[in-house]
Structure 1
Amino acid sequence: MGFLVQFVVFMLFPWFLSVRAEENYSSQHCDFPAIFNFGDSNSDTGCMAAAFYPEVLPYGETFFHEPVGRASDGRLIIDFIAQHLGFPFLSAYINSIGTSYRHGANFAAGSSTIRRQKRTVFEGGTPFTFEIQVAQFNQFKARTRKFFNQDAQGKNSFRGHFPRPEDFAKAIYTFDIGQNDIAAAINKVDTEDSHAVISDIVDYFENQVQTLLGLGARTFWIHNTGPIGCLPVAMPVHNAMNTTPGAGYLDQNGCINYQNDMAREFNKKLKNTVVKLRVQFPDASLIYVDMFSAKYELISNANKEGFVDPSGICCGYHQDGYHLYCGNKAIINGKEIFADTCDDPSKYISWDGVHYTEAANHWIANRILNGSFSDPPLSIAHSCRAQ
């Protein structure tokens, strides 16, 4: 018996030391001085509103009580990330009125894609691709350094408005982009090789992350894309379909299977790329966050979590194939329709059929920030220490 006990102790002792080391390791919080965010409308805090047409009510009604450039009734996941890390909300990079970039900047823009698209802004495209966002960041970093050098010579005083030059290497870089690329690929699924397209999208993403690594970024918090087949505006219940969807078209939550499968393929290739970059850049920390699973968990358990059916849309008119988006008016079947909001947005997952409500964003943020959906499984506050 004594030998058996010694053997067990011998086998478990290394494991015990590793657990203790991990506990000590994870107790060390990262001292992030700033956040730099890249993405699409899921994390745009005012870029498109500043560049083109501002949001109108009821956008922003729940938390801000006015439109603030966010595609939601309130806060986005990036807002909850900033709050969790003790920062103010991120200002959009091109929003010049009343902004401060002391703790970072947001380069995300609605409709943005990883790859360049042929569509114009008026066709739903955007000039603010991932490549452009990275170029904007590069300019921001260079001009910030210039201002600080001038300040040291007594020419300017910008220290209270911009990150310090040394903050860029210590900052956390967050990403939520790719959904619009997948949507574009879905629209061309019959005319393009979707597998090749998805591989190309991920390659473009990798190139831009490598550019940021070359510019000194070292901590990356990378969201994969969500279950695009679960966006209510695409569900058959909100579209005029002459036939009932065939077997296998929808899953148990009413989501479109083939669209989610494309998102899953993108996510798998994205994760492989993140793993590859970790090997190439061992001094960097690259966290892969499974947003798909977090969002799908909410959709699957909507009623249990206090939400209405996940196909429900709080703001907008989506009936019989007519899509009138939140805050707009139109004549439909001879009747003037105003796409107003629901009585209680906190009960809905979907705000406008495409974007999430503040309540849903808050629920998702609470699930991802502690590292439950991360690889490696570190909370965002410890994400600088992944390697």
Structure 2
Amino acid sequence: MGILFMLQHFRVVVIVAFFVVLCGAKCEYEGIFNFGDSNSDTGGFWWAFPEAPPPNGMTYFKRPVGRASDGRLMIDFIAERIGVPFVSPYLKSVGSDYRHGANYATLASTVLLPQTSLFVSGLSPFALPIQLNQMKHFKAQVDQLYSQGSYVLPPPDIFGKSLYTFYIGQNDFTSDLAKTGIEGVKPRLPLVISQITDTIKELYKLGGRTFLVQNLAPIGCYPAFLVQLPHDDKDIDQFGCMISYNNAVVEYNIMLHDALNQTRQELPDAKVIYVDSHKALLELFQHPTSHGLKYVTVACCGNGGGPYNYNPKVFCGNTKLVNGQNLTALACEDPENYVSWDGIHVTEAASKIVVDSIFGDGFTDPPFEIHCS
């Protein structure tokens, strides 16, 4: 009798567990509105311009899907964590589903408006002020069209029930760094931060109440910048990263943290969260084996050879004629062992570790967690 009861009880537990997995837990946030650059672009740039070539997407999607990675990005893991589908790019005209938010990020985006065209500077025309305008237009369309029975738009109350995520500013920091040096970049950084906080205040007016702002990554550890930015051996730390550039990033992050604290005081009923992605990524670069990784300052996808496997003339997935030879930047066979995907962006493995970290203890200010039932 006891064994029979235990078997029946076990069967009930299995059935309940099955339906919990099948239906998924309901979380307090019903959508994501994302603002950013290639670190969180889920395909916006590649719907405006040519498609990202293979081997991008090789790990998870098995094909290119507009992400500068072998697989999922941090924004994808955040979506999984709150139980919503991957966020559709705002610029994707076919096959998008905006019932759980929209992604305005595009590769090469900046916070400040670029002063020249994409074909001159390499910077996206979809800077943060443009992304904000797209968001305002999106909300206006939702308010107007949802009652007409749209199958791809969210209900109007989504704007107060969503996460507003920011992962942007890296291109403002790095785009002229090789030309002007750190001192040449510093004067515009307060303008970058001011634009971010002003955008948060505008989104607050649209109904946004929870804002997650990721700080800048330790670019001094990235293969592309180790190849392209001037430095000497004295500027390299024990982990192979450039000290001066990483210190400059830390200065920016401190300013961003202070500005977000001030914004929080101005919006007392909002959650304005500083997300220390820098801390999580630096941990990966300094102690990769503690997280199951092996390679840090070398790109998985590249054709540079040498210590970094990065060639600025031949980017991941491309073939170019260099010095009379056709060179192709190919991917490694084990991206799950790398921090860096292509020299500028991180792998899916690294993205997952970072997201797991930032939703743990000590990576957000104030402390932040997502409640699911």
Tell me the TM-score normalized by structure 2. Answer: 0.87
Aligned with residue 331 of structure 1, among 321, 336, 346: 321
Equivalent position of 1:14 in the other structure: none
Equivalent position of 1:34 in the other structure: 31
The Cα shift of 1:369 comes to 2.1
Single out whichever of 75-84 and 203-212 deviates more from structure 2.
Answer: 203-212
Equivalent position of 1:133 in the other structure: 131
- The total of aligned residue pairs comes to 342
Kindly name which structure, 1 or 2, has the bigger radius of gyration based on alpha carbons: 1
SS of the residue corresponding to residue 105 of structure 1 reads strand
Aligned with residue 166 of structure 1, among 157, 161, 173: 157
Equivalent position of 1:266 in the other structure: 252
Q: 1:240 and 1:144, CA in 2 relative to 1: closer, same or farther beyond 3 A?
A: closer
SS of the residue corresponding to residue 57 of structure 2 reads coil
Equivalent position of 1:220 in the other structure: 211
Q: 1:30 and 1:64, CA in 2 relative to 1: closer, same or farther beyond 3 A?
A: closer
Aligned with residue 303 of structure 1, among 289, 297, 320: 289
Please tell me whether the aligned partners of residues 36 and 173 of structure 1 are also in contact (alpha carbons under 8 angstroms): yes
Which consecutive unaligned segments of at least 5 residues does structure 1 have?
1-28, 152-156, 383-387
The Cα shift of 1:375 comes to 0.6
Equivalent positions of 1:16-31 (< 5 A) are 31=28
Measured in 2, the distance between the counterparts of 1:200 and 1:188 equals 20
Please tell me whether the aligned partners of residues 177 and 229 of structure 2 are also in contact (alpha carbons under 8 angstroms): no
Q: 1:194 and 1:331, CA in 2 relative to 1: closer, same or farther beyond 3 A?
A: closer
Please tell me whether the aligned partners of residues 293 and 338 of structure 2 are also in contact (alpha carbons under 8 angstroms): yes
Equivalent position of 2:346 in the other structure: 356
Tell me the TM-score normalized by structure 1. Answer: 0.84
Equivalent position of 1:66 in the other structure: 63
Tell me the C-alpha RMSD between the 2 structures. Answer: 2.0
The Cα shift of 1:189 comes to 3.4
Measured in 1, the distance between the counterparts of 2:299 and 2:292 equals 15
Q: What amino acid maps onto 1:147 in structure 2?
A: L
The Cα shift of 1:81 comes to 0.3
Equivalent positions of 1:197-346 (< 5 A) are 197-235=188-226, 238=227, 245-247=232-234, 249-319=235-305, 322-323=311-312, 324-346=314-336
Measured in 2, the distance between the counterparts of 1:138 and 1:219 equals 17
Equivalent position of 2:78 in the other structure: 81
SS of the residue corresponding to residue 316 of structure 1 reads coil
What percentage of residue pairs aligned between the two structures are identical? 39
Measured in 1, the distance between the counterparts of 2:116 and 2:288 equals 35
Single out whichever of 305-314 and 140-149 deviates more from structure 2.
Answer: 305-314
Q: 1:229 and 1:161, CA in 2 relative to 1: closer, same or farther beyond 3 A?
A: same
Single out whichever of 68-77 and 322-331 deviates more from structure 2.
Answer: 322-331
Please tell me whether the aligned partners of residues 182 and 245 of structure 2 are also in contact (alpha carbons under 8 angstroms): no
The Cα shift of 1:322 comes to 4.0
